[in-house]
Amino acid sequence: MTGNLLLNAENVGIQFGGLKAVQKVNMYLNKGELIGLIGPNGAGKTTTFNMLTGVYEPTEGEISFDGKKINGMQPYQVTKLGMSRTFQNIRLFKDMTVLDNVKVANHQVAKHSIISSILRLPSHFKGEAEMERQSIEFLKIFGLDVYKDELAKNLPYGMQRRLEIARALAGKPKLLLLDEPAAGMNPQETHDLMELIAFIRKEFDLTILLIEHDMHLVMGICERIYVLDHGQLIADGTPEAIRNNPKVIEAYLGEEVSE
């Protein structure tokens, strides 16, 4: 680990009543890395995301992000520090247009002041126009500009997933957490998504942590992979090392890890 460290989780865990959902997780992300988090159903992957993003406060361990301890912070505070996420179950503003979904996120980082907006000063209109321009640029990257005036709920499923990522990115995060971005996508959509994730990582100088069941996607784009099973990390390493790790093969018995 170097001065490049962006996220560090030390011995992190959480207990719900008698259930230790996650225990003693040690995980780090260096700036610019694209890292996978995998594991069988119920292994604790989303719970780990929830702890990293402030949805749950860990009952043990410490998490630091960009040099600051973030345990106990609220999700909006963690977002403000530069962490953004998508959800396993798509959470868009379904009755808003595609463009407005992205503009809302862009507003959170808007430069023009509230005063200028209330008073409708020229800087407000300039700011709004700039925001619209930037939002359309985002939509273009995701191939969503053609849908900009559609209501989010009317988009095809794969496009809704893309919009969720676009919206998360519009907040200009340093770290993007993607919870099963390829869930429900067909192989072609998954392939396109894989290329898109690799592209946005480079284009926006992002660090990405990705939960995914699609092994082809995880093994294809991640530099390192963490494996959770029954709430504990059982392995971490390169895709090659993970693919050949006996503990991982056993945890996934009957499932495909070799792609």
Ligand X SMILES: Nc1ncnc2c1ncn2[C@@H]1O[C@H](COP(=O)(O)OP(=O)(O)OP(=O)(O)O)[C@@H](O)[C@H]1O
Q: What are phi and psi of 69, to 5 degrees?
A: -75, 130
Which position among 16, 125, 157, 199 is part of the footprint of ligand X (CB under 6 A)?
16
Which position among 1, 3, 18, 41 is part of the footprint of ligand X (CB under 6 A)?
41
Interface with ligand X, residue 184, by CB under 6 A: no
Task: Give the DSSP letter of residue 172.
Answer: -
Q: How far is the CB of 209 from ligand X (least distance, A)?
A: 13
Interface map 136-165 toward ligand X (x if CB under 6 A) = ------------------------------
Q: How far is the CB of 27 from ligand X (least distance, A)?
A: 14
Q: With contacts defined by CB under 6 A, how many residues of the chain interact with ligand X?
A: 12
21-40: which residues touch ligand X (CB under 6 A)? Answer: 21, 39
Q: How far is the CB of 205 from ligand X (least distance, A)?
A: 28
Q: How far is the CB of 211 from ligand X (least distance, A)?
A: 7
Interface with ligand X, residue 19, by CB under 6 A: yes
Interface with ligand X, residue 43, by CB under 6 A: yes
Helix (H) or strand (E) holding 69: strand 68-69
Strands 175-179 and 224-229 come out as unpaired
66-125: which residues touch ligand X (CB under 6 A)? Answer: 88
CA dist 197 and 192 (Å) reads 9
Interface with ligand X, residue 45, by CB under 6 A: yes
Burial (0-12, 13-18, 19+ Cβ within 10 Å), 38: buried
Burial (0-12, 13-18, 19+ Cβ within 10 Å), 106: buried
| Among 129, 130, 202, 204, CA closest to 166 | 204
Strands 83-85 and 175-179 come out as parallel
Binding site for ligand X (CB under 6 A): 16, 19, 21, 39, 41-47, 88
